[in-house]
Structure 1
Amino acid sequence: MKNVLVTGLNGRLAPYLKEALERKEVNVVPFDRTVINIEDRTAQVRYLKNHNIDSIFHLATGPEKWVAILASIAKELGIAFLFTSTESVFEPSSEGPFTPDRKPDATSEYGCYKIACENSALEANPDTIIARLGWQMFDTFEADNLLTHVRDMHNEKGFLYASTKWLPAVAFVQHTMQCLLDIMAAAAPSIYHVGGNENELSFFDIVNLINKKYGMQWDIREGDDPARDGRIVDERVPCGLLSEVLK
């Protein structure tokens, strides 16, 4: 990878990917939707050619049609295309752990949207790389992530019920970004799961580790709902352990 197009740089995750790429001395080219019409395929082809793009990381939200356009352009130009999806393609009531060959069964609006995006990408370009991500944890309490969500849950009631029987799909964002780089470097078309919770921490375990690491002095109460393994797993994608970050 030398010149990489990254969409979604105004969002939460793509800036972390940009940092990871630039540490590898990769030139990151943004996609500015205020300049380029996402429905104008010709303009997008021109933009990619002008910047000698050799890989595309599509992290932005947008219509399924845009996913299909970018995927088809990648196929036409013979460059790698990676689309980030989510564990939300699986119904919250379904029991995991979820492997990449598990058929998505989401019924929520967001889950169905992500399933449709995956299908659009694969129909336009069978060589699409799909990376499904779980809940992300940043290293600060800023922006929307695991830390802020747990903090807000506690502050709302002054205490927090945390299930010992729920194994969430959660990863440290820097670990996730390294996984995306590794997946793209291999350039093997497939659906991948970037899990992170490989040592099977319960939500109760995670909350207590956060409480201890950041000195929050939260009132954490043991619960048993939900009771499910919600992890996404993939032996091809080793991900850094959340427990190492939170120790």
Structure 2
Amino acid sequence: MKVMITGLNGTVAPEVAKYFYSKGAEIIQYKREEVTVENEMAIHSFLVKHKPDYFLHFAMGTPEWAGLLAKLTKELNIPFVYISTGSVYSGKQTAPITIDHQLDAEDEYGLYKIASEKAVIKQHSNAYILRIGWQIGNRPGSNNMIDFLYKQMEAHQVIKASTKWYPSCSFMEDTAAAIFDTIQNLKPDTYLMNSNDLYSFYDIAKYLATKHENLKVEKTNDFAQDTRMIDHRVNIKKMKEYIEK
């Protein structure tokens, strides 16, 4: 299996590539400095040259670029996988969030992801749209929950974590496994990927503090929001398997 991936200099894509590689996949990196995002002929030639079995689009970029990639992969009969986000939901709707909930993001990032999803679907009706939650890595230094916790410690010497905040989140390796399983076993569609069925941000932060001894967590109830996504079609390891282990 050959898999072409954008965003390999980012946070999640390298973990996904690592997992796919462990399953025998050949990873082909899409480098924007070599294949410009607006040059349709260059992108087409790159796809024809490598003939990937799947195209996974993680990278930040314009909705127009996402749409162009979707268009060209559709023409070449290549399954297209767009990595979206739970941020397409504002957090104002009643949770758990299902695939039937309205996309109602109000912030710039969420609106950008909605626009990108629409651009993809317009060009590739059989694309996979995978909405992932807040990712949990193993160390600070990248855009994930662990990095956020360490930055809170640096700024405030404590992490104030609300018992009334229920985020969608997953460990990156579990997201990688879920992406692999989904595109191998489920038909193209929109899917929600979240490991957290039960726990507040406080619960999760307390658990992570047992693995990162420099973290100090203080319980609060000053922020109330529930953005937990649920999709029973998706096979993803649950947070319960860590916290109640």
Select 1:242's aligned residue among 229, 239, 242: 239
1:13 paired with 2:8, answer no
Q: Summarize the Cα distance change of 1:183–1:217 in structure 2 as closer, same or farther, 3 Å threshold.
A: closer
User: Partner of 1:137 in structure 2?
Assistant: 136
Gaps of at least 5 residues in structure 1 are none
CA shift for structure 1 position 19: 0.5
Work out the number of aligned pairs and report it.
244
TM-score of the aligned structures, taking structure 2 as reference length: 0.94
In structure 1, what residue type is equivalent to 2:79?
A
1:105 paired with 2:104, answer yes
Distance 2:143 2:8 in 1: 15
User: Partner of 1:79 in structure 2?
Assistant: 78
1:227 paired with 2:224, answer yes
Structure 1 stretches (4+) deviating beyond 6 angstroms? none
User: Partner of 2:214 in structure 1?
Assistant: 216
SS in 1 for 2:131: strand
User: Partner of 2:196 in structure 1?
Assistant: 197
Distance 1:82 1:161 in 2: 36
Partners of 2:164 and 2:224 within 8 A in 1: yes
Provide, for residues 189-230 of structure 1, a one-character-per-residue CA deviation record: whole Å limited to 9, x for no partner: 2110010113x1111111111112222361x32211322221
Partners of 2:70 and 2:124 within 8 A in 1: yes
Root mean square deviation, CA, Å: 1.5
Partners of 2:153 and 2:215 within 8 A in 1: no
CA shift for structure 1 position 150: 1.3
CA shift for structure 1 position 152: 1.6
Provide, for residues 88-131 of structure 1, a one-character-per-residue CA deviation record: whole Å limited to 9, x for no partner: 10113333221122110011111111000000000111111100
Distance 2:240 2:135 in 1: 14
Partners of 1:96 and 1:228 within 8 A in 2: no
CA shift for structure 1 position 10: 1.1
Select 1:207's aligned residue among 193, 205, 208: 205
User: Partner of 1:174 in structure 2?
Assistant: 173
Partners of 2:159 and 2:215 within 8 A in 1: no
In structure 2, what residue type is equivalent to 1:210?
L
Distance 1:143 1:53 in 2: 28
CA shift for structure 1 position 170: 0.7
User: Partner of 2:92 in structure 1?
Assistant: 93
Distance 1:117 1:151 in 2: 31
- Alignment map for 1:140-179 (pairs within 5 Å): 140-179=139-178
Distance 2:141 2:94 in 1: 31
CA shift for structure 1 position 187: 5.0
- Alignment map for 1:48-67 (pairs within 5 Å): 48-67=47-66
Partners of 2:97 and 2:229 within 8 A in 1: yes
Provide, for residues 39-86 of structure 1, a one-character-per-residue CA deviation record: whole Å limited to 9, x for no partner: 111211111111121210000111111111111112111121000000
Partners of 1:80 and 1:187 within 8 A in 2: no
Partners of 1:95 and 1:228 within 8 A in 2: no
Distance 1:147 1:134 in 2: 14
Partners of 1:17 and 1:177 within 8 A in 2: yes
SS in 1 for 2:56: strand
In structure 2, what residue type is equivalent to 1:242?
M
SS in 2 for 1:127: coil
Distance 1:18 1:33 in 2: 17
Identity of aligned residues (%): 31
Provide, for residues 6-39 of structure 1, a one-character-per-residue CA deviation record: whole Å limited to 9, x for no partner: 0111111111111111111111111111111211
